[in-house]
């Protein structure tokens, strides 16, 4: 028995000693020097093997062995929960929502109990003010709700609201409202967090306040709703009552134009990030819709084996959390890339950055 303990202790020290040493890493920033950097690439995640481990976790993995890697197959959307140091990714290739628990140093999936509604095509993920997780299931046109501990609680159908082809979902935490965009009716349906209808926004058409294919949504600091329209290649902005305010964008190949919008997000400065799947980039505008920066470009990391920070192959989803970390689903590269936006507040807190 003493020999076994000695072996385990020795293994622990060996694993601890083999921990990666601090090294000066190359930085990837946008815009590049000599301009002042406002966005920096941080890391990429493809499976649980990308979760950094402490000495204790490395030790137990060396003793018990690691689980087979659960890599992405067809990720579509991402949602960060910064207060719990984790993020969730919906993967329609795996028919699941994958949780990256960076605090617990593990990866897992959201489990639906036997008899519960299956996840055939999980799309959007949203989180309310109590930390409850909402998953939009496209094929069933339903919303599944999990509590803060990731335990399944309930589900409600969107078909009763005439939503038969949902494309995205968003939660207004301040007002406890849920927004769902529908490709069939070309409307945004607004409900409470139990799925009770409140109002709808828009309808089919090209006029102001109308949609051709509402594909993604975001809220800014004023509570204004931003709706990305893939077919009309534009962003429309509505006030908190659903009244049309403004729009910008057009189809084209010039900087600031759109080819195939996939997702949209807003940072703490109300800058607007538009993900373009066909252009393989992210275009950033200020709150007035004026072009600030284009980042990214096509890069097939899965074919070259290179990391290629900021290179994308069909980016499809984006989320920006309260700490201004930017999470981008890089679908064909089967990964999530994470960036940091340097707001004025961030730069004040990190003057030596």
The total of structural domains in the chain comes to: 1
Give the whole-number percent of the chain exceeding pLDDT 70.
88
Take residue 256 and report the two structure tokens written for it. 């600031």
* pLDDT above 50: residue 124: yes
**pLDDT tens for residues 25-48?**
789 999 999 999 999 999 999 999
How far is Cα 205 from Cα 148, in angstroms, rounded to an integer? Answer: 39
Residue 45 in domain: yes
- Using alpha carbons, select from 105, 89, 88, 107 the residue that is nearest to residue 52: 105
Average pLDDT over residues 304-312: 88
**pLDDT tens for residues 144-176?**
999 999 999 999 999 999 999 999 999 999 999
CATH, residue 192: 2.120.10.30
Residue 31 in domain: no
Could you list the residue range(s) of the whole structural domain that residue 178 is in? 37-53+67-349
Residues 6 or more apart whose Cβ sits within 8 Å of residue 349: none
Helix (H, G, I), strand (E, B) or coil at 16: helix
Take residue 314 and report the two structure tokens written for it. 């069909």
How far is Cα 101 from Cα 103, in angstroms, rounded to an integer? Answer: 5
What does the chain come to in residues?
A: 353
Give the whole-number percent of the chain exceeding pLDDT 90.
80
Q: With contact defined as beta carbons under 8 Å apart, do 188 and 217 qualify?
A: yes
The torsion angles phi and psi of 12, rounded to 5 degrees, stand at: -60, -45
End-to-end CA distance of the chain, in Å?
51
Residue 164 in domain: yes
How far is Cα 298 from Cα 308, in angstroms, rounded to an integer? Answer: 10
Residue 89 in domain: yes
What pLDDT is stored for residue 311 in this prediction?
96
The torsion angles phi and psi of 100, rounded to 5 degrees, stand at: -100, 100
**pLDDT tens for residues 211-229?**
999 999 999 999 999 999 9
- Using alpha carbons, select from 301, 131, 317, 122 the residue that is nearest to residue 215: 317
What pLDDT is stored for residue 7 in this prediction?
32
Residue 318 in domain: yes
Residue 135 in domain: yes
Residue 24 in domain: no
Peptide bond into 31 cis (omega under 30): yes
Residue 11 in domain: no
Task: Calculate the dihedral angle through the C-alpha atoms of 335, 118, 216, 345, rounding to the nearest 10 degrees.
Answer: -60
Helix (H, G, I), strand (E, B) or coil at 269: coil
Separate counts of helices (H) and strands (E) for the chain:
4, 25
């Amino acid at each position: 028995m003493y020999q076994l303990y000695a072996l385990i202790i020795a293994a622990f020290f060996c694993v601890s000693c083999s921990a990666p040493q601090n090294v000066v890493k190359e930085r990837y920033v946008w815009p590049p020097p000599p301009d002042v950097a406002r966005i920096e690439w941080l890391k990429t995640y493809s499976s649980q093997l990308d979760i950094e481990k402490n000495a204790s976790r490395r030790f137990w993995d060396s003793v018990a062995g690691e689980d087979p890697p659960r890599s992405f197959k067809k990720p579509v959307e991402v949602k960060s929960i910064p207060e719990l140091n984790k993020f969730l990714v919906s993967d329609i290739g795996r028919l699941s929502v994958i949780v990256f628990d960076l605090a617990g140093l593990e990866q897992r999936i959201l489990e639906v109990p036997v008899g519960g509604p299956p996840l055939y095509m999980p799309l959007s993920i949203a989180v309310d003010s109590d930390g409850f997780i909402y998953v939009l299931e496209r094929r069933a046109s339903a919303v599944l709700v999990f509590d803060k501990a990731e335990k399944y609680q309930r589900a409600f159908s969107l078909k009763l609201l005439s939503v038969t082809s949902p494309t995205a979902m968003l939660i207004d935490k301040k007002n406890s409202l849920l927004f769902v965009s529908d490709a069939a009716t070309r409307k945004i349906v607004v409900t409470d967090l139990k799925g009770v209808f409140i109002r709808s926004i828009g309808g089919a058409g090209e006029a102001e306040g109308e949609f051709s294919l509402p594909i993604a949504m975001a809220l800014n600091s004023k509570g204004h709703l931003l709706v990305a329209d893939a077919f009309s290649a534009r962003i429309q902005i509505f006030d908190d009552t659903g009244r049309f305010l403004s729009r910008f964008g057009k189809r084209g190949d010039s900087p600031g134009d759109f080819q195939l919008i996939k997702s949209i997000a807003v940072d703490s400065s109300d800058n607007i990030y538009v993900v373009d799947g066909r252009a393989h980039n992210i275009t950033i505008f200020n709150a007035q819709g004026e072009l600030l920066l284009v980042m990214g470009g096509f890069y097939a990391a899965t074919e070259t084996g290179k990391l290629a920070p900021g290179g994308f192959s069909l980016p499809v989803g984006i989320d920006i959390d309260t700490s201004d970390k930017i999470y981008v689903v890089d679908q064909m590269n089967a990964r999530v890339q994470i960036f940091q936006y340097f707001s004025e507040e961030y730069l004040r807190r990190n003057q030596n950055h």
